Amino acid sequence: MPFKVTHSGGPEYKQYGVHNGCRCKLKAWELDSKDQEALKDHTDDQIILQAMPKVLFIELEKSPKEQYPGLPRNWFPMKPVSIYWCLDADDNIEICRRGFPLVPNFSTTIDGSTGQTMKSSIADLGDFGSVPSHHAAMRGYIALSRVTAADNMLVARSFSPLLFRLGAQPFPSLLFQVLDGKLANLTDFEFIELCRDTDLQYKTRCMLNDLQCKWKCGSCYNKLHWSAYFVGASDWSSQYEEHICRQGSLRECLQCRGASTGELTHICDLCRQPFPKDGYTAAMWNNKAKRHQRTLCKQSCCRPKCTVRTCTTCVACRDEIRDLCVSDGSGFCLVGSKDKQKQVRCLPHAFFCILSF
């Protein structure tokens, strides 16, 4: 059974290097004379001890400073120790507890594993929906760096892709700048303001929707936007986790997934991404072969619905519309048609335009 030493219990502990945090296994014990007598006539599989064992023999995971004489390699005889502390602030009530400084060690917190080197580890860095922070990123780094090889690390579940994309740690970076003398010319007021800005940066939270990155497909090896892997819907976050993060290097875009499964896909005329049948409305999918109108996916390209080839008023064109609209307050712009006699009525609050003939 795995155990962890909670504190060193005297000079003998320090002599052999048995300190707080040492990992070990319980191998044998020496019972009190009362319990030894009770065991002679005992036939059950279990027994309730009448007294504390005299010695617990543990096997240390790492070699001690020196081998204990008369015992197998890495074994150490742990004897009971007494711990004293005061219950009140004035040190009037003193408490003593006697026992073995051992606790079961099937798992540990990230803070408890700081500074340790493990043979293998299963790290839990939070779930996919956790809002990442600089503190969580530091704890994640500690968890992933406890082993000496990546093959000995197993991540318990998929974590937020933003966890390690928040940039440098604000306060350690500020400390290094101070130690390097880069902030020596700042006044006290300027330094206080810099500390406040650093604190705000430390508390900054970033959402998954703000992540603008491309993911490498495991089949075609192209780096693609998330829209190439699934069709946006109400459960966008769960689909992001299922089709991109959980798959890891084995993720496949919609086009490659359709090729491997034989599923028919069609390229959206606006975003130029391939989508299966469920990526389009029924009307769009049934009329995809018609050349006089565009086939737009239901991710965002058909909101508002638009099938006119010369239209620039759909969702993907809204940024362009805002840039090209007349800014004289008239509310009209000439971006909707090659024929400049057609005007586009711009509605700033709705962010789309209506063709005006």
Q: Supply the DSSP string of 229-245, one letter for each residue.
A: TS---TTHHHHHIIIII
Of 71, 86, 104, the position where a domain reaches its end is 104
Q: Does any domain span residue 123? A: no
> Are residues 100 and 9 both part of a single domain?
yes
Hey, what amino acid is at 266?
H
> Are residues 6 and 98 both part of a single domain?
yes
Q: Does any domain span residue 277? A: no
The reported pTM is: 0.58
Q: Residue 98 is part of which domain span?
A: 2-104
Weakly modelled stretches of the chain, pLDDT under 70: 209-211, 232-234, 258-263, 291, 299-300, 302-357
Of 151, 186, 203, the position where a domain reaches its end is 203
Using CA atoms, how far apart are residues 143 and 125, in angstroms rounded to an integer? 8
Helix 188-202 / helix 170-179 crossing angle, nearest 10 deg? 150
pLDDT of residue 167: 85
Structural domain count of the chain: 3
Of 104, 129, 159, the position where a domain reaches its end is 104
pLDDT of residue 58: 92
Q: What tokens does 22 get?
A: 């040492």
Q: What sections of the chain are H helices per DSSP?
A: 11-16, 33-40, 134-144, 170-179, 188-202, 236-240, 254-261, 282-286, 318-324
Residue 68 DSSP code: P
Q: Does any domain span residue 247? A: no
Q: Does any domain span residue 49? A: yes
pLDDT of residue 356: 34
Q: Does any domain span residue 350? A: yes
Query: For 238-288, what is each residue's pLDDT tens digit?
Result: 888 888 888 888 888 887 876 666 667 777 877 777 777 778 888 888 777
Q: Which 3 state secondary structure label does DSSP give 267?
A: strand
> Are residues 96 and 175 both part of a single domain?
no
Hey, what amino acid is at 86?
C
> How many CB atoms neighbour CB 170 within 10 A?
19
Q: Which 3 state secondary structure label does DSSP give 14?
A: helix
Total H helices, total E strands in the chain: 9, 16
Q: Does any domain span residue 159? A: no
Using CA atoms, how far apart are residues 137 and 116, in angstroms rounded to an integer? 18
Q: Does any domain span residue 240? A: no
Closest listed residue to residue 192, CA positions, set 174, 204, 180: 174
Residue 155 β-bridge partners: 123
Q: Does any domain span residue 341? A: yes
